[in-house]
Structure 1
């Protein structure tokens, strides 16, 4: 197929999966700004009201929606109020009719208020029975965290979503995964309390400037300590698993839609990685309804490969998930590497990630994506985000078998696990996370390899 000429960025990167017509609406970028303005406007009104209440009342008048509190305590920052305002602003900005917005907003605010009442009542009962002494800030924090868990479920319950794959969970969380979750959490709480007692002046200073009603280092210090401990466990798990020697025949699938401009670089990178891999590597380029010279560019790059073999297969039905499922149906190798057509993998990627599959319970192993270049301030900020998310937090979640998804630009699947999980879901964005969640429900482990 000849290239009909240069195209704009929207032609190269458009994807039918990113906005499936059954579940998405065409909303302008101003919709997000409108939600922020709604929250800002409501917040200004709330601040004026609470300021006037405090000005007219005594210092211990609560400035938040605290139903029951100990005598002499006050809520310095209206945390609950702001959280409920966020819920109202989100509901007001949903892409639906007015009665649905009112229904979602009413349910979110109502459940938020109910959570606050239950937390306050529990604190009062605990204080009355002498079981524990709860501060208002603790009540605010507990109710806020509980509400943040409940709110997304309210939105999802009202949303129009793809029909779920009917797969009864057969896997069970391993008992030692619970140990690796609970023990670090307890240790983090103990260490945070010890640090707070040892540094009272610093703690008080941080509490004056902290978010969430002045919890000080509290929840933030616990979270960071927990992540550090679990990340250390995750790194030990990676190093132990990486020691295995495992190099089975390997398939690499590359879905490509109008990728003539960069498909050669992706194929050349796979060939370099295949040179360091001890078994045959076969590359499948799936031309997914391209209208440019993707097939010609891919065939030329494959002909120049010295360490892997390959072929181009057409897939006329548009959609990345469609192309991936087609590739899985024609691949006969047990282990499959998924690579995006605009991704250049490192030379060690194939060798180091496949070692983890010596464990028959491993279903997917992902690498650590990095931006192709770091020039601007935004590039540097993006690099920090990637290093934290994939090089630190992903490893931390692996410490207790808690990885939810692997980045789709480079991930290795056990083909049998993908088929047992029902294949790649079509017609939605986020199919890379979805397949990992379903493989987990079938008892397979997701792992991260930060050196890939």
Structure 2
């Protein structure tokens, strides 16, 4: 029999969710290359100009730096960011006036912030006779530039309206104690190693694994997340999980899934047999034009352990299908499974006992690729790092923002209480998990709960998927901006969501940064620049490679290390897709005041309390 992964090349997936009409426009495959070409010209021209004798006398640091700093920088980060802002705005989705105002807004805001920073540095130099290092100035300017880009895109992009996020405070003492202790230990290790003259560190630099980053700076985050990961594993191992087999409903939104729906249902039937409790499968046939419905009905009728039915949802959109399934659900617990996911035999059995703890609201696991297609090996390392390491680690401090909708379990009452799954935007799964977390419930990511999830096998399908995924952080941050700008002091709202936005900006700028570093090194306008080719390579290979190895070993999948070359190349491709995704966001002429409440959706007055 032909397997599902053999048929993936038939797929050219497209749906109304690919580009929500109110918030995203089509992006030509040539739009990003043209933008990068313009960026390259702008950057090269500015690098040449600032290194001419006349201009170099005004800017001796060979960047738009307006006060004297000690030392030197690796790259002219301010020239890089201004070049990027101008090129990105020129090719963003919107009218000419909106694009011009967007570019000016980013550039002027960034320059104003840099001017304040340089003034403070000049004042410090005048008062105490000492200046900050140029390296520190470059790092600060870069982080500020990432933030300007992200938040100006939120302000000027057409985004989902703000809603009121109900936050129910619960004790976070253990989480903050854990976070504080692990930060102190990570800082201590970083400082200790940074002061050592180790042959290994020099070897890593020679192999381009560190580039220009000091070992102390590099070690901080891995040591921090490594500790949190071990604490999360301890929580999983010591969790009180007695046998618990309540009836569950499984909702499966399906749009043109004839190539895999039979395998999906059969996998759930096997999991139901292992589980031993009642399992009700609801296939939500969402406007399919193939024979998804017929195959699903035939396969459900042949199931031995599970029962199920097909419900037709003519209105297109995954959230419409999910909400119809939510309405049809008659059990206390709800499992959401994507139609291209093959659940593991023990998934229901392993997930449900967590709900004997009344503080648990969401349970998920780690997706693994089926193998055998173009991107599967790279995707394996990606999920081990993101879901099998970082997401698991964040669970130790109750900091999980979202759990993927490929396989996730809820208490049915929670999505209903929150008004169902949001429609008309990307990121409905993260949105619902985040809001359940803010109700005071814990999200569990069990690294041993694994299931097979489809990986696109063609470039066009991967591009469509990633543009949806990467756009979602902006949709979620806009809709849930109450957490960022509201009065509540939550870890997700004040730390994690802003970090995710800034990290999205960093990823969107990765390809331009590689181009810019190559210009600085290859053109050689600045003879005093310390940049070497190893630093350029390390941008895409250094820390990511080491973290991928660590994640593979911690998850017990050492074979993933052999996929390291594909993974590192895939990270660059993923960054390119991020850039394309950001270019798809529709730009408005006017900037929205993100702190001002325009409209708040109404949620029930009666709060949910953690038992």
* TM-score computed with the length of structure 2 as normaliser: 0.66
How big is the shift at 1:157?
0.9
Deviates more, 1:337-346 or 1:290-299: 290-299
Distance in 2 (alpha carbons) for counterparts of 1:163 and 1:442:
20
Distance in 1 (alpha carbons) for counterparts of 2:78 and 2:55:
20
Write out per-residue CA displacement over residues 250-279 of structure 1, whole angstroms, 9 at most, x where no aligned residue. Answer: 111111122222111001100111122142
Write out per-residue CA displacement over residues 417-442 of structure 1, whole angstroms, 9 at most, x where no aligned residue. Answer: 21222210111122111212222232
Deviates more, 1:359-368 or 1:336-345: 359-368
Distance in 2 (alpha carbons) for counterparts of 1:375 and 1:43:
38
1:339 and 2:337 correspond: yes
1:353 and 2:338 correspond: no
Partner of 2:388: 391
| Aligned mate of 2:245, from 238, 244, 247 | 247
Partner of 1:32: 32
Which runs of no fewer than 5 residues in structure 1 stay unpaired?
1-6
| Aligned mate of 1:169, from 161, 167, 170 | 167
How big is the shift at 1:158?
0.8
Q: 1:208 touches 1:216 (CA, 8 Å); kept in 2?
A: no
Distance in 2 (alpha carbons) for counterparts of 1:242 and 1:373:
34
| Aligned mate of 1:422, from 410, 419, 422 | 419
| Residues 323 and 374 of structure 1: CA distance in aligned 2, closer, same or farther (over 3 Å) | same
Partner of 2:22: 22
| Residues 178 and 447 of structure 1: CA distance in aligned 2, closer, same or farther (over 3 Å) | same
**SS state at 1:33 partner:** helix
Partner of 1:273: 271
Distance in 1 (alpha carbons) for counterparts of 2:178 and 2:125:
33
Distance in 2 (alpha carbons) for counterparts of 1:438 and 1:323:
20
Write out per-residue CA displacement over residues 144-169 of structure 1, whole angstroms, 9 at most, x where no aligned residue. Answer: 12332332111011111223444443
Write out per-residue CA displacement over residues 114-138 of structure 1, whole angstroms, 9 at most, x where no aligned residue. Answer: 3323334444556667699732211
**SS state at 2:217 partner:** helix
How big is the shift at 1:85?
2.2
How big is the shift at 1:403?
1.6
Superposed, 1:11-410 pairs within 5 Å as 13-53=13-53, 61-70=60-69, 72-123=70-121, 134-171=132-169, 174-199=172-197, 214-241=212-239, 243-374=241-372, 376=374, 378-410=375-407
Distance in 1 (alpha carbons) for counterparts of 2:223 and 2:437:
26
Which runs of no fewer than 5 residues in structure 2 stay unpaired?
1-6, 450-611
Distance in 1 (alpha carbons) for counterparts of 2:355 and 2:320:
26
How big is the shift at 1:73?
2.9
Deviates more, 1:173-182 or 1:151-160: 173-182
Q: 1:254 touches 1:284 (CA, 8 Å); kept in 2?
A: yes
| Residues 211 and 118 of structure 1: CA distance in aligned 2, closer, same or farther (over 3 Å) | farther
Distance in 2 (alpha carbons) for counterparts of 1:283 and 1:35:
47
Q: 2:35 touches 2:88 (CA, 8 Å); kept in 1?
A: yes
| Residues 42 and 118 of structure 1: CA distance in aligned 2, closer, same or farther (over 3 Å) | same
Q: Which has the higher contact order (CA 8 A, sep 6+)?
A: 2
1:450 and 2:447 correspond: yes
How big is the shift at 1:309?
1.2
**SS state at 1:252 partner:** strand
Q: 1:11 touches 1:258 (CA, 8 Å); kept in 2?
A: no
**SS state at 1:395 partner:** helix
How big is the shift at 1:75?
3.1
**SS state at 1:447 partner:** strand
How big is the shift at 1:171?
4.2
Distance in 2 (alpha carbons) for counterparts of 1:173 and 1:30:
51
How big is the shift at 1:373?
1.3
**SS state at 1:450 partner:** strand
Q: 1:178 touches 1:400 (CA, 8 Å); kept in 2?
A: yes
| Residues 412 and 12 of structure 1: CA distance in aligned 2, closer, same or farther (over 3 Å) | farther
| Residues 83 and 121 of structure 1: CA distance in aligned 2, closer, same or farther (over 3 Å) | same
Write out per-residue CA displacement over residues 368-412 of structure 1, whole angstroms, 9 at most, x where no aligned residue. Answer: 111111355x43222211211111111122222222211111111
Q: 2:362 touches 2:444 (CA, 8 Å); kept in 1?
A: yes
| Residues 327 and 151 of structure 1: CA distance in aligned 2, closer, same or farther (over 3 Å) | same
Q: 1:421 touches 1:442 (CA, 8 Å); kept in 2?
A: no
Deviates more, 1:228-237 or 1:179-188: 179-188
